[in-house]
Amino acid sequence: MKVTIEELQAYLFDHYSNGGIDQSLFMKLVEEIGEVAEVLNKKAGRKSTDKEDLQTQLGNELADVIHYTVAIAALNGLDMNNIIINKDKAASVKYNHKTNLEQFILNKRNDKTDQ
C-alpha cells in the first residue's frame, strides 16, 4: 500500500488534533533526529554495534522523523504537498537542476501510461 502526503497529514491531524501540542511534537522530532544520528554513527563505524539490523533501525527512525514533521505541519494547517513542490521548484532554479520534482513525477507518470 502507498500513502500520499495528504493522506498522512489527514491521519495525523485526526490523531493529534485533540491534544497534539506543537512543542511536545517538536521535542519528539528532535529526539528522533538524534536516534537517526546514532544509527548513522553505527553504520559509519563511529559507534559500536551489537549485530543490530541497522538498515531496519534507520528506516524506522526516519519514519518517526517523517511522522512528527508531518504531524506538526498538519496541526498548523500547512499543505506540505504544495510546499514541497514549490520549494523544490525554487531550489531547482537556484541550483540549476535539469528537472524539478514536479517534472520528474509527471515524466514518471507519462512513462507508465506509455507502456
For 31, half-sphere exposure in the C-beta direction (CA atoms, 13 angstrom radius) is: 9
26 and 46 inside one domain: yes
Q: Residues in the chain with pLDDT < 50? A: none
48 and 103 inside one domain: no
Would you state the pLDDT for residue 115? 75
9 and 36 inside one domain: yes
17 and 4 inside one domain: yes
Q: Give the tens place of pLDDT for each residue, 2-16.
A: 999 999 999 999 999
Q: Which CATH number does the domain housing residue 18 bear?
A: 1.10.287.1080
Overall domain count for the chain: 2
Q: Which domain holds residue 89?
A: 81-115
Pull the grid cell for residue 9: 497529514
Would you state the pLDDT for residue 113? 84
- DSSP designation for 103: H
Pull the grid cell for residue 8: 498522512
CB 55 within 8 A of CB 91: no
For 10, half-sphere exposure in the C-beta direction (CA atoms, 13 angstrom radius) is: 5
Would you state the pLDDT for residue 19? 82
